[in-house]
Chain A
Amino acid sequence: MTPATTPLLSVERLTMRFGGLLAIDDLSLDVGARRITGVIGPNGAGKTTFFNCLTGFYKPTIGSVRLNHPRRGSMRLEELASHEVAHKAQVVRTFQNIRLFPQMTVLENLIVAQHNMLQSASRFSLAGLLGLPGYRRAERAAIDKAVGWLTRLQLIDKADSPAGALPYGMQRRIEIARALCVDPLLLCLDEPAAGLNPRESAELNVLLKHLAGDEGIAILLIEHDMSVVMNVSDHICVLNYGRKIAEGSPAEVQRDPNVIKAYLGEEDADDELAAGVRP
């Protein structure tokens, strides 16, 4: 079940090789606009490597990642540096092991995410140094946007606390709020539910549906928590040993024998999978 219109992101025959290790093997995938696409797979399946290839942290060995930007036209993400992926292509990611700016306050974290807008408003810091009204307005707008997201994610009470001192679940939400401040077209979330309690996971489901449905942000979601993935995803892609072994709606994927085999294992299939042979 692929979207009828041109997809927002199309990954074509992506391969990532580290020496002798084939981390991603010939992966093709379409991500639709305003949709949540789940990427699941056992540990070491290449999910995070896939994200690193999308967001410019790795250069794929072979293959292309094409983004159809509504205003800037078609872009090749694998040719951009990591900061350009976020700034120009508006593809923003979070990290599996949370990467906040721990000593800075929550609000500062969200303001740093709006660096490029503020930096051009400060005219290479000159207007900022002089405190010109244009820069002040831009800074006000940045704070308003940050406060807006903090309020919606119920973090506003902690706006002035150092981010590193807050509880784990809250840090996960801050990282999402910070990514949202970059104005993403596509938000890549790497295990956002890891370490969350059931209530927090349920809240995350609501948030993700709201972001895709109401804000129109496409979401690419790596997640092990099936209560999240199966609930929110419109489309799921299953990876195992760097290969796509199944793709489809949550119900289709859950029924797929290859997926069941990859997750639960089959006594005879184990060796074949370990050898990287498609069963």
Chain B
Amino acid sequence: MNTLVIAHHPASPAERLRDAAATALIALLLGIPMIGLTTVDQGGMLRVATRWPTLFAFVAICFAGRLLLRYGLDLLRARRLARDQAAAASVGRVVGSSAILTGIGWLALAVALLLPIAFSDNRYVVDTATTVLIYVMLGWGLNVVVGLAGLLDLGYVAFYAVGAYTYGLLSTQLGWGFWQSLPVAGAMAAAFGIILGWPTLRLRGDYLAIVTLGFGEIIRVILVNWTELSGGPNGITSIPRPSFFGLPFKPPGDAPTFASFFGLEYSPNQRLIFLYYLILGLALLTNVFVSRMRRLPVGRAWEAMREDEIACKAMGINARNVKLSAFALGAMLGGFAGVFFAARQGFISPESFTFNESAIILAIVVLGGMGSQLGVVLASLVLVLLPELGRDFAEYRMLLFGAAMILIMIWKPGGILAHREPTLRHLPQGGER
């Protein structure tokens, strides 16, 4: 009922009381028709009755609640301020924290490598981990566009769809394999990235977001309606699964299979584990690629463009090329993820590429901390695992999900990891004065 207003200075007790009184007044005004007055059925006749005690209890609760809320928020803010000042005072802590982050990164990699070995019998765990990794890869791809270049893209799922459909069509119509299709699908998605980027070069912020949102929907609507090409709402079925260098994951038959070649007993989990390592490899390649790009002139130009486009132009940087390269590379990475998605599912339809997906990928980037690679991993874990863990709560699942996101944004408005690591240093790390 109350709107949450966060003031920018610590409130005095008098201010808090005034604020709570204002809230109580609003509650009273709203409460008179909603709570204070009620209709009772009296022998077929409706008569208006009053419930003043309930109303006053309600207003009192609003007053006390608002007072407590403001007090709590002020307390929180004071604590955060003190912490920030302490952090600014000790540079050593900042350096330490970036070393800790590197450590967490390596630890996460080790866990990711060992996970399917530890859970080799558990289909559910490996499957969910694969889903997490798809989102990690998508997040790293979108990070180029949103986190580094600062171009708000609400239609990223379009490139994911282009990649998936390119592989779906190439494999079912032309019989191409996974590895042959991968670069073609990536190039196709990059081309679509440029098609989107070209007309939107002059747009920024909200305006760009609206156009990209529309672009994502256009691609989906085309896929639904162009039945001859895409199969319409029925999608594309029986897309071949990737094989291990030509060895399929099948029950033993005439041709050599993965299991028979290595003399293993056939198990359907082998394919799942292979898919897991495949997406892990693709995601790691993406990570290495993006973090190297960030340290190159293009990557610095992306970040400079995010900071100030006019200053970029004044420095002789061609803004058009820089933006298009960000769109194209981000789209290409999304396309790669799409190929993997199609190969993993074996079936694709426009259902999988709704705006909801774009929103989740964007949420991963924003929640993780714009431009932070490790932040994307943490945010993907949160956003994929939270709905999974929430399955027991059935219909409250999305409520939990939303509450968790709001809490993270209150607790860390810049994302889970908002720390930006410079691309090069004059003095080695720790020499900062």
What is the interface of chain A, defined by CB distance below 8 A to chain B?
A: 55-57, 81-87, 92-95, 99-105, 107-108, 111-113, 115-116, 118-119, 122, 125, 128-129, 139, 143, 147, 150, 156-157, 159-162, 178-179, 182
Name 11 A/B residue pairs within 8 A (Cβ), A-sorted.
Answer: A82-B314, A83-B317, A86-B313, A86-B316, A99-B311, A101-B304, A102-B307, A129-B293, A150-B426, A160-B422, A161-B432
A162 to B419, CA, bound (A): 12
B contacts, CB < 8 Å to A: 289, 292-293, 296-298, 300-301, 303-304, 307-308, 310-319, 420, 422-427, 431-433
Contact of B313 among A82, A147, A162 (CB under 8 A): A82
Residue from B293, B308, B424, B433 within 8 A of A111 (CB atoms): B424
B431 contacts which chain A residues (CB < 8 A)? Answer: 160
Docked complex Cα distance between A104 and B300 (Å)? 9
Kindly state the separation between the CA atoms of A268 and B311 in the bound complex, as whole angstroms. 43
Contacts of A159 in B (CB 8 A): 425-427
Q: Which A residues are in CB contact (< 8 Å) with B297?
A: 115, 118-119, 122, 125, 128
The closest CB in chain A to the CB of B322 belongs to A115
Alpha-carbon separation in the docked complex, A118 to B426 (Å): 17
> In the docked arrangement, what's the CA distance between A208 and B166, Å?
59
Report Cα–Cα, A94/B310, bound state, in Å: 11
Q: Are B301 and A108 neighbours in the complex by a CB distance under 8 Å?
A: no
Q: Which of B308, B426, B432: most chain A Cβ within 10 A?
A: B426
Would you call B316 and A108 a contact (CB within 8 A)? no
A104 touching B310, Cβ below 8 Å: no
In the complex, which residues of chain A have a beta carbon less than 8 angstroms from the beta carbon of B300?
104, 108, 111-112, 115
Contact for A160 among B304, B307, B319, B425, CB less than 8 A: B425
CB distance from B329 to the nearest CB of A (A): 9
Pick the contact of A119: B298, B304, B423, B425 (CB < 8 A). Answer: B298
A100 touches B318 (CB 8 A): no
Q: Is A115 within 8 A of B303, CB to CB?
A: no
B315, A182: Cβ atoms closer than 8 Å: yes
Please determine whether B301 and A103 come into contact, CB atoms closer than 8 angstroms: no
- Assembled-state Cα–Cα distance A113/B317 (Å): 8
Complex formed: what's the CA distance from A103 to B302 in Å? 13
Residues of A within 8 A of B433 (CB): 157
| Most interface-central of A85, A87, A159, A182 (chain B CB within 10 A) | A159
| Residues of chain A lying within 8 A (CB to CB) of residue B315 | 83, 86, 92, 112-113, 115, 178-179, 182
CB pair B311–A115 under 8 Å, yes or no, is no
Given contacts A101-B303, A103-B303, A107-B424, 15 further A-B contacts (CB under 8 A): A85-B316, A86-B313, A105-B425, A108-B303, A108-B423, A112-B312, A115-B304, A119-B301, A122-B296, A122-B298, A125-B293, A125-B298, A129-B292, A159-B426, A160-B426
Of all chain B residues, the one with the shortest Cβ separation from A161 is B432
B296 and A129: CB pair below 8 A? yes
CA distance A104 to B314 in the complex (A): 17
Q: In the bound complex, do residue A83 and residue B307 qualify as a contact, i.e. CB atoms below 8 Å apart?
A: no
Query: Bound state CA distance, A252 and B304, in angstroms?
Result: 43
- The complex places the Cα of A61 from the Cα of B411 at a distance, in Å, of 52
Residues in A whose Cβ lies below 8 Å from that of B312: 83, 112
- Assembly CA distance A131 to B83 (angstroms): 40
Decide: B314 and A95 in contact? CB cutoff 8 A.
yes
In the complex, what distance in Å separates the CA atom of A157 from the CA atom of B432?
8
**Judging by beta carbons under 8 Å apart, are A115 and B301 in contact?**
yes
What's the least CB distance linking B413 to chain A, in Å? Answer: 15
User: Across the interface, which residues of B come within 8 angstroms of A105, CB to CB?
Assistant: 422, 425
Please state if B427 and A160 are interface contacts (CB–CB under 8 Å).
yes
**Residue on A nearest B296 in the bound complex, by CB:** A128
Is there contact, CB below 8 Å, between A83 and B316? Answer: yes
Cα of A159 to Cα of B422 in the assembled complex, Å = 11
Among A92, A104, A157, A161, the residue within 8 A (CB) of B304 is A104
Q: Which of A104, A118, A157 contacts B422 (CB 8 A)?
A: A104
A86 cross-chain contacts in B, Cβ below 8 A: 313-316
Q: Give the residues in chain A near B303, CB-CB below 8 Å.
A: 101, 103-104, 108
* Closest residue of B by beta carbon distance from A56: B313
Q: Are A115 and B314 in contact (CB under 8 A)?
A: no
Q: How far is the CA of A119 from the CA of B298 in the complex (A)?
A: 7
Chain A residues closer than 8 Å to B289, beta-carbon distance: 129
**How far is it, in angstroms, between the C-alpha of A83 and the C-alpha of B304 when the chains are bound?**
14
Q: How far is the CB of A56 from chain B (nearest CB, A)?
A: 8
Select A112's contact among B304, B318, B420, beta carbons within 8 Å: B304
Q: Is the CB of A107 within 8 A of B425?
A: yes
Whether B316 contacts A107 by the Cβ 8 Å rule is: no
Closest CB in chain A relative to B89 CB, distance in Å: 14
Top-8 shortest CB links A-B: A87-B316, A86-B316, A159-B426, A101-B307, A99-B311, A118-B297, A128-B296, A82-B313
Interface centre among A100, A115, A179 (most CB of B within 10 A): A115
Separation of A85 and B314 alpha carbons in the complex (Å): 8
What are the residues of chain B within 8 A of A103 when measuring CB–CB? 303, 307, 420
Q: Please, which residue of chain A has its CB at the minimum distance from the CB of B425?
A: A160
Contact assessment for B432 and A99 in the assembled complex, using a CB-CB cutoff below 8 Å: no
Task: Report the minimal beta-carbon distance from A1 to chain B, rounded to whole angstroms.
Answer: 30
Q: B314 to A92, Cβ gap below 8 A?
A: yes
Which A residues lie within 8 Å of B422 (CB)?
104-105, 107-108, 160
Per the bound structure, the CA–CA distance linking A60 and B432 in Å amounts to 46
